[in-house]
Amino acid sequence: MTFTRRLFQTLAGATFGCAACAAQAHFQMLYVEDTAPQRGDKLEFALVFTHPFSGGPTLVMDKPRAFSQVSAHGSKTIDLRQYLRPVQWQSRDNQATAYRASIPRELMRSLGDHIFVLEPEPYLEAEEGLYIQQFTKLIVNVGGVPGDWTEPQGLPVEIQPLSKPYANWTGGVFRAVVLADGKPVPFAEVEIEYLNHAVDIEQNSFGQAAYVTAPQASFNAQSTYADAQGIVTLGLPRAGWWGIAALDIGATKTHKGKPLSQDAVLWVQARDMVPGKDSGIAH
Amino acid sequence: MKPLGPTRLILMTAALSCCQAAFAHGPVFDCYLEHDDQVKCEAGYTDGSSAVGRKIRVQDARNKLLLEGSIGADNTYTFQAPAGDYTVLFLGGDNHDATIQSADISR
């Protein structure tokens, strides 16, 4: 994280009166309930710019510049902006404009990987005079037929998965490459944050209760670096959603005359290993 | 968790019914209705291998063969929906067959 952003987040934590907020990261969420459905069905999205570990505060989103789907057969990119609608997202401490999208079943019926890409409008941290733009990817697989989940999408910045983002057991290891203009970014600064609150997508809200309590603020958003090949490796110690953000790796460094941090975000869903009924293992 | 419908069970069974060693090669099969009552079926395997050329059979409620065809280059097979109830069988090879009932085929 750049010093400027770290300083701002510290100030933001102080502003919201929450010492634990000081070390949390801004994360562009691209949320669905299930990234590995057995059968394609309509898909409800929530697009929320927030602090997922603490369930807020949520930041106001402008209408995204792009929201698209690369279909399971990889042959076409579908513009999904027509499905976007603004909502007021209720997080723990505040309410702010976010977006929802209802993707019809017709676009989700095909077996295989459906790759969703969000390019938000840069967000202005007004107090600091700094813009943040997080290019965010989410991959949904229908039926279990693998597809192009590991293919880069040609974004200015992105995280290229080396493991299927939709097929991870709790306790597993996830690997990915941080890319800028399609090239690995050695030693990229990466933050990892757990979505620590339930999502009530119909009510456009986070649940009030946190799943886990961090022993100290530095646990809220874990910091690490990619290696010399740009590869980042993380563990998935708990079922649910894990956000991975590579910070300030874009070539475009200014927006409207102010500093711009172009970040790459990928969301990964981890599942518990649940014993089968006939396994003989106590549930 | 929602209860699994018959189609989901079929798909799961298809994916899980093969032996453990063959988990990397389970069949996946689904069909849906497109315009003009055209039924489009997709087939594949969990290891990403191709189903191109594999046979598809469409049978009526008495197992009478109505149609037979092959999975095309795009891993699909499309046919005109027959009148009445019917079953679509994907002959995936090596006991990798999968079945879907017309009642589970929708838009």
Spans in chain B with pLDDT lower than 70? 1-24
Task: Answer with the residue of higher pLDDT: B23 or A116.
Answer: A116
Q: Name which of B75, B100, B101 to mutate to probe chain A: the one with the most chain A Cβ atoms within 10 A of its Cβ.
A: B75
The verdict on residue B68 lying in a domain is yes
Tokens of A18: 């929450």
Task: Quote the CA–CA distance of A242 and A229 in Å, as a whole number.
Answer: 22
User: Which residues form the domain of B28?
Assistant: 6-104
B87: left (phi over 0), alpha (psi -120 to 50) or beta: beta
Work out the average pLDDT over A237-263.
Answer: 98
A104 close contact with B: CB closer than 8 A: no
A39 close contact with B: CB closer than 8 A: yes
The verdict on residue B96 lying in a domain is yes
Q: What is the pTM of this model?
A: 0.87
Give A279's pLDDT tier (boundaries 50, 70, 90). low
Output the pLDDT for position A3. Answer: 44
The verdict on residue B19 lying in a domain is yes
CATH of the domain at B63: 2.60.40
Number of domain units in chain B: 1
The verdict on residue B22 lying in a domain is yes
> Chain A neighbours among B 38-67 (CB < 8 Å)?
42-48
Chain B residues lying within 8 Å of A142, measured CB to CB: 30
Task: Quote the CA–CA distance of A95 and B32 in Å, as a whole number.
Answer: 40
Strand A95-103 and strand B55-60: the pairing is unpaired
Output the pLDDT for position B13. Answer: 39
Task: Quote the CA–CA distance of A127 and A121 in Å, as a whole number.
Answer: 18
The CB density around residue A102, as the number of other CB atoms within 10 Å, is 11
Output the pLDDT for position B24. Answer: 57
The verdict on residue B12 lying in a domain is yes
The verdict on residue B71 lying in a domain is yes
Q: Which helix (H) or strand (E) holds B16?
A: helix B6-16
The verdict on residue B79 lying in a domain is yes
The 10s digit of each residue's pLDDT in B16-38 is 333 333 355 799 999 999 988 89
CB pairs under 8 A between A and B: 42
The 10s digit of each residue's pLDDT in A149-198 is 999 999 999 999 999 999 999 999 999 999 999 999 999 999 999 999 99
Work out the average pLDDT over A142-148.
Answer: 94
Task: Tell me whether residues A147 and B48 touch, CB distance under 8 A.
Answer: yes
CB-CB contact of A21 with A54 (8 Å): yes
Is the per-residue pLDDT at A228 higher than 90? yes
**Cis amide prior to A52 (ω within 30 degrees):** no
Output the pLDDT for position B25. Answer: 78
The verdict on residue B1 lying in a domain is no
Output the pLDDT for position A280. Answer: 65
Is the per-residue pLDDT at A100 higher than 90? yes
In chain A, the percentage of residues whose pLDDT exceeds 70 is: 89
Give A126's pLDDT tier (boundaries 50, 70, 90). confident
